[in-house]
A = this chain, B = another copy of it.
C-alpha cells in the first residue's frame, strides 16, 4: 500500500468525522456546525465548531489539506527551500463549560514538498491536556494512555515526546507550563529508522487516542459542582491559554502570518477569558495546588 498524501488526508478527514460524532455523543446536546472553505493559493478545509453544548462550551475540530507555492515566509518558518508544498492535518481545541473538565488540544499533521528531484515529507502532532484544576489521578491516566500508544511503536517515543511537550507548551513570561503536557512531535520521517507506513500507523494511533480519553474526562467531571469562584478561576486559566496561543504557538503564528483563515486558526480561543492584575491564589487552596504543578519535568506516571 502506497502511503501517499491522498491516503493520509482521507484518513485525517475520517478522523475528524469520527471525533466529532463521539464528542457530540458524549456532549448530549451540542452539534457541530460546518464551514467548508477554500484557500486562494490551493486546497482548503472543513472547520467544525460546537458552541453551547451540555459539556462543551466551545470546541473546534478542524480539518485542512492545502497546497501550492511555498512563500518566503513559509520557507523561513520551516527552514527549507522548496517551491511546492502539501500540508494536511486535524486540529482540535475543546473548552468545556465545567471548570473540572480539562481543556484539551490535539493535532496530527502531514507535510511534504512536491519538488520533482527531491521530495521531503514528515509527520507531526501531539495531544496535551490543560486542566483548570489538576487532578493527579487523571493526569496519571492521561499520561499512561499516551505512553501506552507510544510504547507500541517505539520504546523511546514517550520519553522524548513528553519532554518535547513540556518544552513546547511552556509560557515563558509566566514561568508556567500551559497544563500537564502530553506528547508533542514534529519532523518525524525516515531518519527515525521507521518506514513511512510505520510512522503513519503511530500518528493514526495518536489520533484515535483522543476521543476515548477525553470522553472519560467529560463523563467523570461534567456534573462536578462548582460556583462563581471556580468559574472565575477557569476564566483566568483560559486567559493563560490565550497568552500561550497568541504569543508562542507556532501553528497559530504561522497561520496568521501566512494569511491563513483567521476564524479557523483562532477557534482555539475560549468564549470567555479573564485577566486579574497580580492574581495570587489563597494559600493551600486547590488553585494554589494547581499552580504548583504547572512545571516542566513532572513524571505523572
Query: Which residues in chain A, 233-285, are within 8 Å of chain B measured between CB atoms?
Result: 235, 239, 242-243, 246-247, 253, 256, 259, 262-263, 265-267, 269-278
Interface centre among A246, A269, A277 (most CB of B within 10 A): A277
- Shortest Cβ distance from residue A271 to the other chain B in the assembled complex, whole angstroms: 6
Question: Taking the full assembly, how many copies of this chain does it contain?
Answer: 2
Contact B262 A60 (CB under 8 A): no
Q: Does A173 contact B (CB under 8 A)?
A: yes
Q: Known interface pairs A247-B256, A256-B173, A256-B247. Does A271 touch B275 (Cβ–Cβ under 8 Å)?
A: yes
Q: Does A201 contact B (CB under 8 A)?
A: no
- Shortest Cβ distance from residue A44 to the other chain B in the assembled complex, whole angstroms: 16
Q: Which B residues are CB-close (under 8 A) to A246? A: 242-243, 246-247
- Shortest Cβ distance from residue A280 to the other chain B in the assembled complex, whole angstroms: 10
**Among B173, B263, B267, B275, contact of A269 (Cβ-Cβ < 8 Å):** B275
Q: Does A49 contact B (CB under 8 A)?
A: yes
Query: Which residues in chain A, 18-51, are within 8 Å of chain B measured between CB atoms?
Result: 35, 49, 51
Contact B51 A262 (CB under 8 A): no
Q: Known interface pairs A267-B277, A273-B272. Does A262 touch B173 (Cβ–Cβ under 8 Å)?
A: yes
Write 10 A-B pairs (CB below 8 A) sorted by A numbering. A49-B278, A58-B275, A173-B262, A173-B265, A242-B246, A243-B246, A243-B266, A270-B275, A271-B274, A271-B275
Task: Give the 4 A-B residue pairs with the shortest CB-CB distance, closest first.
Answer: A246-B246, A269-B275, A173-B256, A49-B277
